Amino acid sequence: MDREPNIVERIRRSDERVHVAIGAICNNNCVFCMEEDRDGRYVNNSAMTAERVRWVLESHRGAEEVCFTSGEPTTRDDLPGFIALARELGYPRISLMTNGRRLGHLPYAAALAKRGLGRVYISIHGHEQALHEGLTRTPQSFEQTVAGLRSVAKLAAFGVELHTSTVVTKRNLPHLGAIYRFLRGLGVHQVVFNVMQANGRAHTHFERLFPRYTEIAAEVAGMLAGLNEAQPMAFLVDIPLCTTEAVPDRARGYVEKHRHYDLDTGTGPEERRASGKGRGLALWTRADLDRAQREKRDECRRCRYDAVCEGVWKNYLARYGWDEMEPVPGASAAQ
The 10s digit of each residue's pLDDT in 280-297 is: 999 999 888 888 899 999
Looking at residue 333, its pLDDT comes to: 60
Phi, psi of 106 (to 5 degrees): -55, -40
Containing domain of residue 120, as a range? 15-198+206-285
Residue 50 in any domain: the answer is yes
Residue 311 in any domain: the answer is no
Residue 296 in any domain: the answer is no
pLDDT of 158 > 80? The answer is: yes
Phi, psi of 211 (to 5 degrees): -75, 165
The pLDDT tens digits of the residues spanning 165-207 come to 999 999 999 999 999 999 999 999 999 999 998 888 988 999 9
Buried b (16+ CB within 10 A) or exposed e, 184-216: bebebbbbbbbbbbbbbbbbeebeebbbebbeb
Contact 136, 185 (CB under 8 A): no
Percentage of the chain surpassing pLDDT 70? 99
Phi, psi of 270 (to 5 degrees): -55, -40
Residue 333 in any domain: the answer is no
pLDDT of 334 > 60? The answer is: no
Total domains, the chain: 1
Residue 323 in any domain: the answer is no
> CA nearest 190: which of 145, 135, 236, 257?
236
Residue 22 in any domain: the answer is yes
Residue 63 in any domain: the answer is yes
Residue 316 in any domain: the answer is no
CATH, residue 265 = 3.20.20.70
Least confident of 92-96, 186-190, 220-224, 226-230: 226-230
pLDDT of 335 > 60? The answer is: no
Contact 172, 179 (CB under 8 A): yes
Q: pLDDT category, 268, cuts 50, 70, 90?
A: confident
The pLDDT tens digits of the residues spanning 301-322 come to 999 999 999 999 999 999 999 9
